[in-house]
Structure 1
């Protein structure tokens, strides 16, 4: 269960500043049902994420842009078909973008509410966020923070209602993100 965080700077588990994505230890994954009987798992390999941490939870801002043409389900023929005009139509919808609106929580369990845009459709989305912790990188590197965010969207709400019965309506999202702590002010 999450609670709103008060104004206490100590309530946030990570330092204020512009955290930098570690793309080599981060991933954007999804799962969708096929014929209603099996799951197809995939990922997007092209994405950018920005994390601004303020002194309070209401000052936290997250934005992400995902290149939809970078889909990888482990099958090149299927990936080409998903990119095509009868499915994702990456020519018309090249990216998916997320912008946070509100962050709340405590300890390891957080909720991030925001807006997800695919093509010209924007809908509210809530993600459950688990704070994995902080670690000092050996040999003098900056600290890293880890997060897992999970949620789901309904394809039809974004105008992606192609192939009903073949593909499930619900797409489950799993984001594993690692960020690098900013240099302290005056360092």
Structure 2
């Protein structure tokens, strides 16, 4: 296999999230005029790929304390009880419930609240790294309302509007490693 993606579907088997080559991120509007981006730097998970791709399953966990927006003050605020409350709820999880090859639906749990989310998924392909390991890549995007998970903190701003948008875009760029 070459480094160039070679298949159009993830081969059956167990695949682990490669955290060094995976980014779980989010985008929120700030002051309703610009975007703030963040990531969770500690992520783990597995994909059980089935021959019939619709029977595949995904489970991913992110450590809330690993949130990184490039601002220590903002990151600490996000970890606080105003937002994620990382001390009480240290992880968020996603467990798939269905996959049709382009749409991945599952249960996203944040702050002990579980809601369904559907991601648009784009398969990047499968390739082999220089050390003989089989890797695969995906991109996934979903838009959610943070208030659905009890993330309600906000502040009104002068002239109207609020400090943080309710609508959050979740972006995932994942590289998977085939397990033996």
TM-score (norm 1): 0.85
How far did residue 46 of structure 1 move?
1.0
**1:124 counterpart = 2:116:** yes
How far did residue 180 of structure 1 move?
1.6
**1:181 counterpart = 2:172:** no
TM-aligned CA distance change 1:12 to 1:134, over 3 Å: closer
Query: 1:153 aligned to 139, 144, 147, which one?
Result: 144
Query: 2:128 aligned to 123, 126, 136, which one?
Result: 136
Q: Is the 8 A contact 1:15 1:181 kept in 2?
A: no
**Distance across 1 between alignment mates of 2:72 and 2:39:** 13
| Paired residue secondary structure (1:58) | helix
**1:60 counterpart = 2:56:** yes
Q: Is the 8 A contact 1:12 1:56 kept in 2?
A: no
Q: How many residues align?
A: 168
Query: 2:47 aligned to 48, 51, 64, which one?
Result: 51
Q: Which residue of 2 aligns with 1:91?
A: 87
How far did residue 12 of structure 1 move?
6.9
How far did residue 181 of structure 1 move?
2.2
**Distance across 2 between alignment mates of 1:83 and 1:21:** 24
Q: Is the 8 A contact 1:116 1:122 kept in 2?
A: yes
Query: 1:113 aligned to 100, 105, 130, which one?
Result: 105
**Distance across 2 between alignment mates of 1:70 and 1:166:** 23
Gaps (5+ residues) in structure 1?
1-10
Displaced runs of 4+ in structure 1, greater than 4 A? none
Higher relative contact order (CA 8 A, sep 6+): 2
Answer with 21-30 or 122-131: which moved more: 21-30
**Distance across 2 between alignment mates of 1:33 and 1:144:** 34
TM-aligned CA distance change 1:177 to 1:21, over 3 Å: same
TM-score (norm 2): 0.88
Gaps (5+ residues) in structure 2?
1-6, 156-161
Q: Is the 8 A contact 1:63 1:97 kept in 2?
A: yes
| Paired residue secondary structure (2:100) | strand
**Distance across 1 between alignment mates of 2:53 and 2:80:** 40
RMSD: 1.6
